[in-house]
Amino acid sequence: MTATLMAGLLPFQHEEFFPFKDAEVAGRQREAFAYVRSTYVGKTFPLLVSGRAVSDRDTFEVRNPADRAEVVWHFPKATEQDLRDAIDAATVAFESWRFSDPMQRASIMLKAAALLRARRMEFNAVMTLENGKNWAEADGEVAECVDHLEIFARETLKWAQGKPVEPMQDEHVTMVYEPLGVVAVISPWNFPAAIPLGMALGAIAAGNTVVWKPASETPLSSYLMIELLHEAGLPQGVIQFLTGTDDVLGDPLVDSPKIRMVAFTGSREIGCRIYERAAKVQPGQKWLKRVIAEMGGKDPTVVAADADLDAAAQGIVAASFGYAGQKCSACSRAIVEDSVYDAVLQKVVDLAGKIQVGLPEENAPLGPVIHEGSLQRILGFVEEGKRSAKLVLGGERATVEGRDGAYLQPTIFADVAPDSSLFQEEIFGPVLTFTRARDWRHAIELANDSDYGLTASFYSKDPVKIAEARRLMHVGNLYVNRKCTGAMSGTHAFGGYNMSGTNAKVGGPDYLFWFVQTKTIAQKY
């Protein structure tokens, strides 16, 4: 039956990005900003608990990172009772949702995809005002959300079929997958729609329920996505939505004995804390909690001497300075073979030097980092670089007239030593380092010299070198002759090695395995 339903689905196609160079398309995006400003700015949005909108709580401000003087909207601070109520409601909802028809789940996702297509520019504008992405970066993420909904609808039906086993003459044996229970989804501010949606869809596609905790910097991008799922037919209790402070929604959420699994994306520090706390069996807990964690990267681009140097330079710049380097997949280390090092460095400096800093709402190529605290942390790395390496571009705070934002010039350091913190630690800003390698094999060794292992790029025209890079580069996502950002759901299953996380590959064919448990049923004839 499920196979028949799968056969009725159209072949999957990635959602196309909007061509903002087209004046008519750009005009519609500007209209979307006007709509969001007139409809959402100044509002207070609720928690979603037990199918109810809860708003009679103390609130916190969400500010526009492009101009911190602007408060865009408010959200409630959930209480300890709200957390208990949300977990209890998700537990109750699980008892019915676990037995929901897989086609029902898939149909909800497909309808949500259609609804989101019609509102993409609105969601783009909300995201820009929350986390400072320009139009193209926001649109890339919202398009990814459409892809997630389409892909997870198909994965729902695939996993509902179970897996074949070797038959026996006197027994009928099946292997099926069952949901786990309540999944805590804890998400970051840099991808406030696609990342939590991917984790939540993994949960609900398998028949689990969700307690969704977004980053405090970007809650509306999550809230609107949940509203969209409800409009598409998702029962109200399947997702509980909580915003607020970490003392209420951090450790207590992870520690709850009723939480069956934690799906987390964020910093290494918090990811390791979650992993440790989730390992402790709490009183009344009947399972070992499962954890998936994506905790960042220190992503290299390796350039061999025979590479297309112009293509390599363009890929490095796009991956390093897109969204001000605030992607876990961003290129932060260029490792270049000695004989072409100076040439590649100069090409990258020339390209990066043309990047304009400005307002994301006006689609500037380089906007602010998320807040002043983040900028000060990045500037600490910059000051170290000025002492230990060669500053060849930027290195100073940038200003946008009349706006109070945390802006930084695109910054490049050359001759960075492999043992320096610039080479080893995640900076999470528009800062790129260049390191010289003796040859292409040495470059691969340097690329692997990291606690992380999320993405990497390798540029070469030589099939032998490419084959060795494919075999030896220790990352979850390796890109050959293209930039190391821009994973596409359904194609580039995304997740990393080592301290980049648990390698749960969102958007891939085995992602749902993390959200299920396996049952073998043998019935004797």
Q: Are strands 259-265 and 452-453 parallel, antiparallel or unpaired?
A: unpaired
Non-local (6+) Cβ contacts of 216 within 8 A are: 60, 62, 75, 189, 243, 244, 245
- DSSP label at residue 237: G
Non-local (6+) Cβ contacts of 396 within 8 A are: 408, 409
Q: How far apart are CA 479 and CA 62, in angstroms?
A: 36
Q: Which of 197, 452, 446 is nearest to 329 (CA)?
A: 452
Contact 132, 182 (CB under 8 A): no
The backbone torsions φ and ψ at residue 142, rounded to the nearest 5 degrees and listed phi first, read -65, -40
In order of 202, 303, 329, 417, 475, the CA distances from 471 in angstroms are 29, 16, 20, 25, 10
In order of 67, 254, 423, 445, 457, the CA distances from 309 in angstroms are 38, 47, 22, 21, 13
Q: How far apart are CA 129 and CA 488, in angstroms?
A: 24
Q: Are strands 397-398 and 407-408 parallel, antiparallel or unpaired?
A: antiparallel
- DSSP label at residue 63: E
Q: Which residues are catalytic?
A: 294
Q: Which of 332, 321, 401 is nearest to 365 (CA)?
A: 321
